[in-house]
Structure 1
Amino acid sequence: MNVKMSKLSALIFLCCLVYTRAYEQSTPSSLLLAANSAPDTASINATLRRTHERREKNPDSVIQVYQSLLKTCIEADYAAGIANTMLGLSRVYSIVSDYKKACSYAYKALHYCSNNTEGYELEANVYLTLAQTHYYQGKYDSCAWYRYKTLNLVESGRINDIHTQMKAYGGVLQFWMNAHGDIAHDKYIQQIMQHVNGIEQKALMLKDSSVLVNIYFQKEAYYENMRMRDSSRYYCQLTVDLGRRLKVTPSILVASLLNMAISYLEEQQPQKAFKVINEAIAEIPEQGKGSNRYFIFSHFAMGDALLQQKKYTAAINILQAAIAKADSLHVLPLTDYAHKTLAKTYDAINDPVKAAEQWRLYALVSDSLLKDKKMELVYNVEMKYRIADKDRELAQKELSIARNEARLRTKNLWIGGISTGMLLLVLLGLLLYRNTKHKHKLQAEKIRNLHQEVQIASLQAMISGEEKERSRIARELHDGMGGSLATIRTRLSSVFRKQQATPEISEEFAEIMLLLEEASAELRKTAHNLMPEILLQEGLAKASLLFCERIRKGHLLEVNTEIWGEPKNLPTNVELTAYRIIQELVQNILKHARATQALVQIVFHDSLLCITVEDNGAGMPAGNNGSDGVGLKTIRERVISLNGQMDIASSPGNGTSVYIELNTINSNSTQNVSE
């Protein structure tokens, strides 16, 4: 993944990070569940509203207030107050990164959600809080599960409040923007954006600024993903200006400002980024500031800005301190950006050892297999919901009938006990099913990886054996037969000088000597092709240039060679494999293509070696990519042995183009091909 994609992932993580908190001050009064006529419940609701507003600024004291409120609600048997207080505790524990307690209180809050409109809205907020907490812990399947449960409540028509509808659609939108690298052509994301735009029109008609500020917050991340940075910064500024007027929680202001700073960094404008970063830091509450995720991320962005200004020492100091703090808080999804920035800084000051370590840490965090796993889990959850639509509708109808019948019957302990037992069994079954499916996926993945490793090891062993045999034959040809031919030539010259030769004999002797010279040259050429010394001494670039030059001199094929990038010393097995591939492809052109021109292009990247071989020959028949040929099969095996990729483009009469990528970092250690 390139630098832009890494920064974009960090930016989307910030959006996910503040998503639940962004709505806390805009929570509709229905979520607090209107108080009944009793004065104690009215006092509880008023205290809850005031406490919600102080969650980010004073989390420690807020926890104590919530605990006291919870005891009061339990003593008053006030179910709505219990649910709201537990949800508040879940959110504040999430703010201080105590995810175990955050999940515990959220699960408890679900038991107190009533079966009415207000209860469904509260249930949706609990699901969103659980989704957020699971995301922080890297449990992407659980995160997707709860966000889709929220969306299911909205699409079932149980929730009419546009605040909660926006939360549901925004939660799914944020998750998919995290999972996708390119959202411009994703129909599902575009459908969600249509719902968001519809809610925006309703909010404008109702002049509901609290909903608009959160819509603008979603759109700034959406347009950044679309690489429309002017639009993204426009909505960032809208969010900040409107949020300040509404006095929303600091997190949404800080996140929007940091998103704007990242946008400037993407366009190499560090001065503007610095200004916005400092503005964001000023918005962060002082209590617990050093452990605040936004404060840590702001230092990551500041390190990137210092790198762009070539202030390498300052960049290293600020990044190292911020990474250490992030590691202590286990904020894994943020640190890939920091490790990559630090690696680029060490590269800039020519410290390859430290740079390599930071690249390794970056790879551990942002490993493509982890992303593939996350995408697989997301698709599985989505498919589960789409396939089960009809079943859910039927279950909803049955549940409605059961509730109506329950209202007609006398409530007693037997019915309550049976219902509770059934619910526990269903939940246990779901958990066991999900756990079993997860284990099966992990086992299947391990088996696939093992098969692939065995295949690659087998190919590498075969290729190593071939090269050793080539080396042995080359030595025998050069040292054995080459020496014998040289001896024969010397002895013949000696015999000829001793004899009185006639002109006819002299002419025959000259022909014999010419034949011996040609045989010696062919023998040296064959030995060189079997094990080219120039490859071992000068590297792939010069060896390939010399090989193509010999082909051009000895045949009618005009071979052009291009070397791009900085040629560097690669592992011997990589260079030798690449050289054999080029040899085989050029020989295929000579044998089969009937071409007059060919191009051999070698491109050196940081971690990749790219080879392109093209010709203007007859091409391959339609529908045939060369998979039946022994030569191309051998080439594919060599490419697979280095975890590479190979693509062939060809059509009759239009020539053939072969493109190969070889991994130069993850290849095995250098093989001794001279054994």
Structure 2
Amino acid sequence: MGNLTALNYRRIPLCIMLLLLFAGNCLSMPADDRKHVDSLIKIAALKRDSSSQGAEKIYTQAIRLAQKINYNYGVTKALLGLGTCYNNSSQKDKALACGRMALQYCTNDIKGHEQRVLTYIMLSHTYYYKGKYDSSAWYRYAALGELESNRLLDPKMQMKVYCSILDFWLNIHDDIRNDLHIQQVMQHVNVLVNKAKDRKDTASLMFLYFYKAGYYNNIQQNDSARYYCQTSLKMGNLNNMANSMKAGILINIALTYIDDKNPEKALLSIQKAKELFNRGNDYYVRQQLFTDLVSGEAYAMQHKYDKAIATIIPALNDANERHLAHILVTRSYRILADCYDATGQYKKASLNRRTYSELRDTMMKVEKLELVYNLEMKYRIADKNKELAEKQLAITRNESRIKTKNFLIIGISAGLLLISLVSILLYRNDLHKQKLQQEKIRNLHQEMQIGSLQAMIEGEEKERSRIARDLHDGMGGTLGTIRTRLSSIFRRHTSANVTNDFIEVLQLLEEASSELRKTAHNLMPEILLQEGLAKATALFCERVHKGHTLEINFETWGTAPALHADFELAVYRIIQELVNNILKHAAARTAIVQIVYHERQLCVTVEDDGRGMLLHHGAYDGMGLKTIRERMNSLNGELHIESTPGQGTSIHIEFTLKQNTSRYVIKTSNC
């Protein structure tokens, strides 16, 4: 909190202060020894940012003196200060040792519980710097459990705990707007803000606004984030805020400008932050790393890609050496990949984009989300345990009265519950029966409709087959006989007067015979039964192309599996109907028919560049389409139509096959 209670010591020269403390140490009584320990701790706190080694010596002296006089509170406080010094100088293992030792000196009174909370928070920071994020989170929630189980009501202590939890998730969770657990933490923070306003405690508001700014920055409400950052800075000027915290606020302001795509203002804020760095400690290194990452992203927005690359790479290397997990670090790999793309270094761009995806997917979505759920569960279990303890205490105080009421409540509740369960089961059983009956009726109607359609289609195909045989075997044979006889007569009785007439009659007979064969083939194409759907469709498209001005292309993709003849005939009829619609109504110049076999799917696409179709009551209408839809329903297929007036029509149908297709090949033929 900036050690606000020790500000007057800054006016006293350090050598005189140490001399006075030494003299006091020699002459003081045991009660004065405690004051001496407290004074040493205050002096060390003042020196912590400027001279870490000097602060360590003073803290060590305070620890020895406090142990000598059995001043547990002083031992714990000095150990926490010494652990903070070790954190600043990157001696994380020594910091952990200080924290563990401090826990042994925490007493069971209110001060002892508060010191245990502060120790847990210090340990959580140390584990965070070591890259042990599960341990870091555990100690933050241990601090929360200590706070709530011992009813520590000090607002500043509550602020330290809730802001510590919020700070953890702001650094490793890229989107907390829908996280209910974070919303609960923010509710506590807002309550603390209101209490600080009532007390006119600007020092507490300064820190609370700092974390509110981080929260709004995370949920992309950057105007609110900048407001709280700037308000925190103003309050910091009145409360001697540490330069490291001012620099952190300026970095957060720069991040809001980055999110708003304003790199110039972001770089100005970064420059102000760099002027406040306290060089020589671990905070400085981390802040330098973050400013480099933000600067690199700003340079990338300004299209200064080479400068962005040169700035980001050393910072990312430093982050990897420190095992630092932070949203900004993960995002920087994506920025670096974009810069490599812009400069034509596509291989490096691909590697960095892959690293970004792995970090985001693996670390953020798996490890961190699992940790969120586990910690939320522990937190809720702790709440439940606390509630149970409170209820047990109430039951103990009112045991005789509550027992009687409990028996009555249990009996009545059991009866009501039994009645409710029976009613629910009866209702669900009746509802289930109704649903089954409705489902049976619906299935019966559907089966009847499908059966009717199939019967109609089978009858239609049988009639087509009969007419085709009659035409081919009856009229076709007759026309063939007539043509043969006329040819024989023409050869025996040739004269100049009748030659042209005979030739014309023979040509007409040839055309009639050809048209008859085409008609018979369309009614029941033999090639469909012999060669399959693709060959029959290709031949149909070729005949359409020869007999009309429409340029129609046919394509088939994939290897056709063995299909039932009735199924292939039904699909062939649908294709015929779609092509005939193009010839009759579309006035198209070109069209394409495509059949695709892929795994368990048969897809048919028919497209043209004609006049298109108009919607009627939200759907495409017409007798031809109605017939096609009926056939599709009988085959359990899907029909999709896309049409724009004046720009053509695309019709796509899909069927799910029972057989699996073989290897994937491509064949194309143009009619």
Name the counterpart of 2:558: 531
Once residues 634 and 369 of structure 1 are traced to their aligned partners in structure 2, the CA distance between those partners, rounded to angstroms, is 42
Question: Structure 1, residues 536-594: CA drift from partner, whole Å, max 9, x if none?
Answer: xxxxxxxxxxxxxx9996486999xxxxxxxxxxxxxxxx9998799659799983489
Offset of 1:323 from its aligned partner? 1.7
Q: Map 1:479-518; keep pairs closer than 5 Å.
A: 508=513
Name the counterpart of 2:87: 94
Offset of 1:366 from its aligned partner? 2.2
CA separation of 1:336/1:551 partners in 2, compared to 1, >3 Å: closer, same or farther?
Answer: farther
Once residues 128 and 248 of structure 2 are traced to their aligned partners in structure 1, the CA distance between those partners, rounded to angstroms, is 17
Question: Structure 1, residues 181-222: CA drift from partner, whole Å, max 9, x if none?
Answer: 554454443333332222222222322222111111111012
CA separation of 1:36/1:529 partners in 2, compared to 1, >3 Å: closer, same or farther?
Answer: farther
CA separation of 1:109/1:268 partners in 2, compared to 1, >3 Å: closer, same or farther?
Answer: same
Kindly tell me the number of residue pairs found equivalent between the two proteins: 461
Q: Map 1:584-663; keep pairs closer than 5 Å.
A: 584=603, 591-592=632-633, 598-599=641-642, 631=656
CA separation of 1:673/1:507 partners in 2, compared to 1, >3 Å: closer, same or farther?
Answer: closer
Name the counterpart of 2:370: 376
Name the counterpart of 1:142: 135
Name the counterpart of 1:25: 3
Once residues 197 and 510 of structure 2 are traced to their aligned partners in structure 1, the CA distance between those partners, rounded to angstroms, is 109
Q: Which amino acid aligns with 1:379?
A: Y
Offset of 1:278 from its aligned partner? 0.5
Match for residue 279 of structure 1 among 272, 276, 280: 272
Once residues 277 and 551 of structure 1 are traced to their aligned partners in structure 2, the CA distance between those partners, rounded to angstroms, is 70
CA separation of 1:616/1:193 partners in 2, compared to 1, >3 Å: closer, same or farther?
Answer: farther
Name the counterpart of 1:56: 49
Offset of 1:149 from its aligned partner? 2.2
Offset of 1:630 from its aligned partner? 8.9
Once residues 284 and 526 of structure 2 are traced to their aligned partners in structure 1, the CA distance between those partners, rounded to angstroms, is 80
Q: Which amino acid aligns with 1:329?
A: R
CA separation of 1:290/1:43 partners in 2, compared to 1, >3 Å: closer, same or farther?
Answer: closer
TM-score with structure 2 setting the length: 0.58
Contact 2:90 2:282 in 1 (8 A): no
Question: Structure 1, residues 610-665: CA drift from partner, whole Å, max 9, x if none?
Answer: xxxx9999xxxxxxxxxxx9939999x9xxxxxxxxxxxxxxxxxxxxxxxxxxxx
TM-score with structure 1 setting the length: 0.58
Offset of 1:54 from its aligned partner? 3.4
Contact 1:58 1:287 in 2 (8 A): no
Is 1:159 aligned to 2:152, yes or no? yes
Once residues 66 and 632 of structure 1 are traced to their aligned partners in structure 2, the CA distance between those partners, rounded to angstroms, is 79
CA separation of 1:325/1:387 partners in 2, compared to 1, >3 Å: closer, same or farther?
Answer: closer
- Secondary structure of the 1:77 match is coil
Q: Which amino acid aligns with 2:31?
A: A
Contact 1:25 1:249 in 2 (8 A): no
CA separation of 1:393/1:315 partners in 2, compared to 1, >3 Å: closer, same or farther?
Answer: same
Match for residue 327 of structure 1 among 273, 296, 320: 320
Once residues 316 and 576 of structure 2 are traced to their aligned partners in structure 1, the CA distance between those partners, rounded to angstroms, is 54
Offset of 1:372 from its aligned partner? 2.9
- Secondary structure of the 2:348 match is helix
- Secondary structure of the 1:114 match is coil
Match for residue 386 of structure 1 among 380, 383, 395: 380
Q: Map 1:198-213; keep pairs closer than 5 Å.
A: 198-213=191-206
CA separation of 1:555/1:250 partners in 2, compared to 1, >3 Å: closer, same or farther?
Answer: farther
Question: Structure 1, residues 313-339: CA drift from partner, whole Å, max 9, x if none?
Answer: 111111112222222333243521221
CA separation of 1:331/1:377 partners in 2, compared to 1, >3 Å: closer, same or farther?
Answer: closer
Match for residue 349 of structure 2 among 349, 352, 355: 355
Name the counterpart of 2:62: 69
Once residues 664 and 3 of structure 2 are traced to their aligned partners in structure 1, the CA distance between those partners, rounded to angstroms, is 67
Q: Which amino acid aligns with 2:91?
A: D
Once residues 178 and 290 of structure 1 are traced to their aligned partners in structure 2, the CA distance between those partners, rounded to angstroms, is 15
Name the counterpart of 2:432: none
- Secondary structure of the 1:367 match is helix
Name the counterpart of 2:338: 344
CA separation of 1:510/1:358 partners in 2, compared to 1, >3 Å: closer, same or farther?
Answer: same
Name the counterpart of 1:366: 360
CA separation of 1:332/1:222 partners in 2, compared to 1, >3 Å: closer, same or farther?
Answer: closer
Once residues 246 and 63 of structure 2 are traced to their aligned partners in structure 1, the CA distance between those partners, rounded to angstroms, is 30
Contact 1:300 1:337 in 2 (8 A): no
Contact 2:107 2:113 in 1 (8 A): yes
Contact 2:289 2:319 in 1 (8 A): yes
Gaps of 5+ in 1: 1-22, 30-34, 400-495, 533-549, 560-575, 601-613, 618-628, 638-670
Gaps of 5+ in 2: 8-27, 394-482, 489-505, 539-553, 560-574, 587-594, 607-627, 644-649
Once residues 231 and 76 of structure 2 are traced to their aligned partners in structure 1, the CA distance between those partners, rounded to angstroms, is 34
Question: Structure 1, residues 39-86: CA drift from partner, whole Å, max 9, x if none?
Answer: 333222112122223333433443344334333433443322221122
Offset of 1:300 from its aligned partner? 0.5
Q: Map 1:183-262; keep pairs closer than 5 Å.
A: 183-262=176-255
Contact 1:169 1:195 in 2 (8 A): yes
Offset of 1:296 from its aligned partner? 0.8
Once residues 578 and 341 of structure 1 are traced to their aligned partners in structure 2, the CA distance between those partners, rounded to angstroms, is 42
Q: Which amino acid aligns with 1:591?
A: M
Once residues 29 and 659 of structure 2 are traced to their aligned partners in structure 1, the CA distance between those partners, rounded to angstroms, is 80
Contact 1:556 1:596 in 2 (8 A): no
**Greater alpha carbon shift after TM alignment, 380-389 vs 108-117:** 380-389
Q: Map 1:289-328; keep pairs closer than 5 Å.
A: 292-328=285-321
Once residues 156 and 337 of structure 1 are traced to their aligned partners in structure 2, the CA distance between those partners, rounded to angstroms, is 39
**Greater alpha carbon shift after TM alignment, 201-210 vs 70-79:** 70-79
Once residues 615 and 56 of structure 1 are traced to their aligned partners in structure 2, the CA distance between those partners, rounded to angstroms, is 74
Q: Which amino acid aligns with 1:523?
A: K
Question: Structure 1, residues 148-188: CA drift from partner, whole Å, max 9, x if none?
Answer: 22222332353222111111222233344456555445444
- Which of the pair has the greater relative contact order for Cα pairs under 8 Å at 6+ separation? 1
Contact 1:177 1:222 in 2 (8 A): yes
Question: Structure 1, residues 223-270: CA drift from partner, whole Å, max 9, x if none?
Answer: 223322111101111112222332222232111111100000111111
Is 1:83 aligned to 2:46, yes or no? no
Q: Which amino acid aligns with 1:194?
A: Q
- Secondary structure of the 2:641 match is strand
Question: Structure 1, residues 440-474: CA drift from partner, whole Å, max 9, x if none?
Answer: xxxxxxxxxxxxxxxxxxxxxxxxxxxxxxxxxxx
CA separation of 1:387/1:585 partners in 2, compared to 1, >3 Å: closer, same or farther?
Answer: farther
Contact 2:244 2:278 in 1 (8 A): no
Offset of 1:312 from its aligned partner? 1.1
Percent identity, aligned pairs only? 30
CA separation of 1:553/1:510 partners in 2, compared to 1, >3 Å: closer, same or farther?
Answer: closer
Q: Which amino acid aligns with 1:598?
A: I
**Greater alpha carbon shift after TM alignment, 186-195 vs 387-396:** 387-396
CA separation of 1:674/1:156 partners in 2, compared to 1, >3 Å: closer, same or farther?
Answer: same
CA separation of 1:77/1:633 partners in 2, compared to 1, >3 Å: closer, same or farther?
Answer: farther
Once residues 188 and 591 of structure 1 are traced to their aligned partners in structure 2, the CA distance between those partners, rounded to angstroms, is 51
- Secondary structure of the 2:297 match is helix
Q: Which amino acid aligns with 1:326?
A: A
Once residues 266 and 42 of structure 1 are traced to their aligned partners in structure 2, the CA distance between those partners, rounded to angstroms, is 50
CA separation of 1:518/1:231 partners in 2, compared to 1, >3 Å: closer, same or farther?
Answer: same
Contact 1:97 1:329 in 2 (8 A): no
CA separation of 1:507/1:556 partners in 2, compared to 1, >3 Å: closer, same or farther?
Answer: closer
